[in-house]
Amino acid sequence: MGGHSFTFKQFHIEQDRCAMKVGTDSIVLGSWTPVAGVKRILDIGTGTGILALMLAQRTSQLVQIDAVELDADAVKQAEENVNGSPWRERIRIIRHDIRTFQAPYYDLIISNPPYFVHGQTLPDAARQRARHTGELDQTALLQSAERLLAPLGKLALVLPVEQGEQLVALANELGWHLQRRCLVETKRGKIPNLVLLVLSRKATETVEEQLCLRETDNRYSSEFVALADEFYLRMSA
């Protein structure tokens, strides 16, 4: 999924100026996140705009999506991608630090947050910033979400398993409740390396799920095809 662009069924992503390229983690999160009944969506750290665009495709024309991003180049890129899509009237790209962003409540907040810990070096400074927990740590993410989320709203995230466990533990301390957790195997039989999470401020029982992306022969699994087929141009089990 490298290169400078990525074509989906209903929209196209240019990513040459964006530190964080389109990855499986965003595609899985954008396909899996529950959207029933939502009216207002916030995408934190939108990057290319991929999550905002996927959720626009999955929701009605009445749903408004705000996508907040701090990096100037990413903002320009996301604006280009949104303006070239069928949903330019419904998605606003906003350059702002989420820690001080103010808006009416959202029903759903979605994020593919930064997760490299201090000490890891990446070749590109913007990519390092985009993926560095120093820029937006888990506490700041949860506090921002709490401030901006409606009382019955949901926060949907994708993280590596270890960081996901850390975030759930921290979220519990801060009064959040885990609604759904989905462990993601990139290949059948491998140890899951990603986790999808839905958190809310309301106590509920946790629904545990698992998802496998590829079979041992590298074909997409039937479950992943069922989940993401509405986005991929060429996809078969």
pTM of the model: 0.88
pLDDT computed for residue 36 by the predictor: 96
Q: Residue 148: what pLDDT?
A: 98
* Domain ranges (residues) in the chain: 5-228
d(CA 60, CA 95): 25
At residue 126's C-alpha, the angle toward residues 124 and 127, to 5°, is 65
d(CA 185, CA 236) in angstroms, rounded, equals 18
Neighbouring residues of 50: CB distance < 8 A, sequence distance ≥ 6: 13, 22, 26, 27, 30, 81
Cβ-proximal residues to 100 (8 Å cutoff; 6+ apart), any chain: none
DSSP-based three-state secondary structure for 233: coil
Q: What is the pLDDT of residues 1-40, one digit of tens each?
A: 445 676 788 988 888 767 666 788 999 999 999 999 999 9
What confidence score (pLDDT) does residue 134 get?
Answer: 45
Question: What is the per-residue pLDDT across 199-227, written as a single tens digit (0 to 9) for each?
Answer: 999 999 999 999 999 999 999 999 999 99
Check residue 83 and give its pLDDT. 96
pLDDT tens, residue by residue, 101-152 = 999 999 999 999 876 444 444 455 555 554 444 446 899 999 999 999 999 9
Give the CA distances from residue 182 to residues 5, 33, 35, 156, in Å, rounded to whole numbers and listed in that order: 28, 10, 16, 11
H runs (alpha helix) in 17-116: 24-32, 50-58, 72-83
CATH number, domain 5-228, options 3.10.50.40, 3.10.129.10, 3.40.50.2300, 3.40.50.150: 3.40.50.150
